């Protein structure tokens, strides 16, 4: 990993210590906050490549931090690390803009794998095109015949993967592997959530559903 800074927000000192130590062992600089109020202040005052955020905290809870943070920094990558594992909470967090969601208890190697995905940076300057839009994967912008649309990093990565296979059907398993770094089926609907978000920004026909297979974009 590069030496970009990560912020860990959790009210459990044991989790803060455990996660922070693991990140530093991977070569990542880490800040930590024992609560939502302090975490929100740090996240808004300094640049972070990734924020790892608990949801259940006294005072300012994680959902509030997520909303405040992404209101001011819509492109901030946030990985939720929470004991809440119900589908409705996961979908709400992802709909608010979280890049990923991992439930507690968690396997450290899985958390580190997801962090590595979020920390990847594209230094290339090429653009990707398909159908009637052009994606700049560095700026996370899509240009259509009538407008320019800003995407989040995850939305850009997902659309980029589909464009690179334009005219084909891309399975959810492949998208989970390439965009989120999952090497197994975690029984998540995160792909569907992000496809809905992209369609909302670019139009319902931007991404087609291939029933029983996955998704695709036209040439």
105 and 145 co-located in one domain: no
Q: Which strand (E) or helix (H) includes residue 216?
A: strand 214-216
Q: Select from 119, 149, 169 the last residue of a domain.
A: 119
114 and 134 co-located in one domain: no
How far apart are the C-alpha atoms of 112 and 176, rounded to whole Å? 16
72 and 157 co-located in one domain: no
195 and 169 co-located in one domain: yes
Q: Which residues contact 15 (CB under 8 A, 6 or more apart)?
A: 54, 81, 104
102 and 134 co-located in one domain: no
The domain of 200 spans 128-216
Q: Select from 102, 119, 136 the last residue of a domain.
A: 119
**Any idea which residue has 């991977």 for tokens?**
26
84 and 155 co-located in one domain: no
Question: pLDDT tens for residues 128-151?
Answer: 777 778 888 878 899 988 899 999
Res 14: pLDDT: 92
User: Which residue numbers in the chain have pLDDT < 70?
Assistant: 1-3, 120-126, 183-186, 219
Specify burial of residue 13 (Cβ count, 10 A radius: 0-12, 13-18, 19+). exposed
Average pLDDT over all residues of the chain: 86
Q: How, if at all, do strands 5-9 and 50-53 pair?
A: parallel
Res 185: pLDDT: 61
161 and 211 co-located in one domain: yes
CATH code for the domain of 42: 3.40.50.2300
């Amino acid at each position: 990993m590069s030496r970009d800074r990560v912020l860990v927000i959790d009210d459990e000192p044991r989790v803060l210590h455990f996660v922070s130590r693991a990140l530093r062992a991977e070569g990542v600089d880490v800040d930590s906050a024992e609560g939502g109020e302090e975490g929100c202040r740090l996240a808004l005052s300094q640049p972070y490549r990734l924020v790892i955020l608990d949801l259940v905290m006294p005072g300012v809870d994680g959902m509030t931090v997520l909303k405040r943070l992404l209101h001011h920094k819509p492109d901030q990558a946030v990985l939720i690390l929470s004991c809440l594992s119900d589908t409705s909470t996961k979908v709400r967090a992802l709909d608010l803009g979280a890049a990923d969601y991992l439930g507690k208890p968690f396997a450290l190697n899985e958390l580190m794998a997801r962090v590595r995905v979020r920390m990847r940076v594209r230094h290339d300057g090429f653009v990707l095109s398909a159908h009637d839009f052009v994606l700049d994967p560095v700026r996370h912008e899509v240009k259509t015949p009538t407008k320019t649309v800003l995407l989040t990093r995850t939305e850009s990565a997902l659309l980029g993967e589909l464009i690179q296979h334009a005219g084909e059907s891309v399975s959810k398993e492949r998208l989970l592997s390439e965009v989120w770094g999952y090497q197994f089926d975690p029984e998540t609907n995160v792909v569907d959530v992000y496809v809905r978000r992209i369609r909302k920004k670019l139009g319902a026909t931007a991404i087609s559903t291939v029933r029983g297979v996955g998704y695709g974009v036209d040439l």
